[in-house]
Structure formats: C-alpha cells, structure tokens
C-alpha cells in the first residue's frame, strides 16, 4: 500500500508481510522495478513488516520444499495427512503437483482450506487436474495408499481440522496406524502449548509425525522475508 504525503511530494510505503522469491512457483517475479521507481520518486517513510526480519540471510524459495515433501509422500505406506497455511496458495499448488506425480489424489479438509482453494481455483490461481479431488465425505472409503489429505490448522487452533483429527473427533478423517502426518509450517510464537498438546496426541497414533522447523528443514523454507531481503527493500 502506498500514499502520498499531503505536505511533501513523497510517498509513504507499507509492504505488509512479504517475501521476495527469485524463482516463484507462480512464475511472476517480485516487482523490484516498481519498488525502485517509488524510491526514485522519494519515500518519506517505509513501513516494512516481516516476522523473520531478525533472522539473518535470505529466505529460500518456495521451490525448495518440493524434493523433501515429494520424497515423504512417495515413500508413505498409507495415507498422507499434510498441513500448511491455507493462505499459502503456492504451497497448496506444489502439494497438488506432487500428488499427481506420486499417483495420489488430493482431498481438502478445513473451512479455510476449502474456501481458499475454491476462490484460488475460480481465479485461475490454482491448477487442479480433472478428477484429482476426492470429496471429504469420500475420504474414509478411498484407498489410503492413493490419497493426500491437505488440512488446515497448522497452529493447532481450537476446533481446527487438524486439532480435531488429532483427537479423533473429525467427521471425515482420523489418523490410523501407518498413516503419515506432515506439518509444513512453523510454530507462531504464543501457540507453543496448544501446538505441543495437539501434535503429541497425533504422533501417538501415526506411523511417523514430522514437525517442521524452518531453519533446519527443507519442507518449510519460510514465507516471510529475512534480514537481507528487508535490507534490499530499504536500499
């Protein structure tokens, strides 16, 4: 968002929470030229927001998650339950693409996940092959070796899909022996206790439970810019 000062011929600029990806999944690069244009016109104040601003270096590309997630999905003996932020359309697209490559169908679980997928698909921001989607009500009867369930609730929010799945209180999904649960998100500060309780319950039922710590894992590169990217925008 940008606005021009009434008293001075300069812009005030608000980035919102952002990430600069040099190899974006959607193909459209970050528009650094427009940033530079506003800089040349004069910026009175830049309000730059990123939860990773204190972490050094550069946030890896979204494409960095593909090899590890695909490896996990390909080697899973039964059903895969994968959770990511429902607002991360690029991550959702990558999971859809991976499901196609490993010969699995995809099911979307959780109100925010379903709503965002429907909106993104209607705007042609998501590519979903025909016949790829399994309806929620058909999950229990579907071959567990041929499905990936993409669920919302990465932060173990009360009554979120993944929280209810963890305590076997979901209408359509439960975690069975030899299922694989993958979390492709980081824990937001303040959610540690509810997160720990939820995932301890879930990991007790699943064959393996994979928690993702961004700086140590290639299954979640981060969706916010780190210090070097913020310095780039400031310059």
Which one is predicted more confidently, 211 or 16? 16
Helix (H, G, I), strand (E, B) or coil at 16: strand
Given its phi and psi angles, is residue 20 left (phi above 0), alpha (psi -120 to 50 degrees) or beta?
A: beta
Give me 26's structure tokens: 């959607």
Confidence of residue 146 (pLDDT cuts 50, 70, 90): very high
Give residue 199's pLDDT: 67
The 3-class secondary structure across 74-140, one letter per residue, is HHCCCCEEEECCCCCHHHHHHHHHHHHHCCCEEEEECHHHHHHHHHHHHCCCCCCCCCCECCHHHCC
Which one is predicted more confidently, 128 or 3? 128
Q: What is the mean pLDDT of residues 230-234?
A: 50
Q: What is the mean pLDDT of residues 88-93?
A: 92
Q: What is the mean pLDDT of residues 185-212?
A: 67
Q: Among residues 219, 181, 188, which one has the least CA distance to residue 202?
A: 181
Which one is predicted more confidently, 57 or 176? 176
Confidence of residue 20 (pLDDT cuts 50, 70, 90): confident
Give me 142's structure tokens: 């579907």
Cα pseudo-dihedral 58, 3, 47, 28, rounded to 10 = -20
pLDDT at 204 over 50: yes
Angstrom distances, CA of residue 78 to CA of 66, 67, 146, 216, 221: 20, 19, 8, 26, 26
Separation between Cα atoms, residue 54 and residue 7, nearest integer Å: 33
Q: What is the mean pLDDT of residues 6-22?
A: 70
pLDDT at 220 over 70: no
Which one is predicted more confidently, 125 or 34? 125
**184 near 65, Cβ under 8 Å?**
yes
Confidence of residue 167 (pLDDT cuts 50, 70, 90): confident
- Write down the pTM of the prediction: 0.76
Q: Among residues 149, 158, 159, which one has the least CA distance to residue 181?
A: 149
């Amino acid at each position: 968002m940008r606005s021009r000062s009434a008293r001075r011929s300069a812009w005030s600029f608000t980035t919102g929470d952002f990430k600069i990806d040099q190899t974006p999944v959607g193909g459209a690069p970050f528009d650094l030229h427009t940033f530079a244009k506003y800089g040349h016109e004069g910026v009175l104040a830049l309000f730059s927001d990123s939860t990773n601003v204190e972490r050094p270096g550069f946030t890896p590309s979204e494409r960095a998650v593909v090899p590890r997630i695909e490896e996990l999905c390909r080697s899973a003996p039964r059903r895969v339950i994968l959770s990511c932020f429902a607002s991360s359309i690029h991550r959702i697209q990558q999971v859809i693409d991976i499901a196609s490559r490993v010969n699995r169908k995809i099911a979307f679980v959780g109100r925010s996940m379903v709503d965002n997928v429907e909106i993104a698909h209607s705007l042609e921001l998501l590519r979903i092959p025909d016949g790829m989607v399994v309806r929620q009500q058909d999950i229990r009867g579907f071959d567990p070796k041929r499905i990936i369930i993409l669920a919302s609730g990465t932060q173990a929010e009360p009554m979120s899909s993944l929280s209810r799945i963890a305590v076997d209180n979901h209408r359509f999904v439960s975690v069975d022996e030899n299922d694989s649960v993958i979390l492709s998100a980081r824990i937001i500060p303040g959610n540690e206790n509810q997160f720990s309780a939820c995932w301890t319950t879930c990991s007790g039922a699943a064959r393996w439970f994979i928690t993702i710590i961004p700086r140590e894992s290639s299954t979640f590169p981060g969706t916010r810019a780190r210090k070097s990217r913020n310095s780039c925008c400031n310059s």
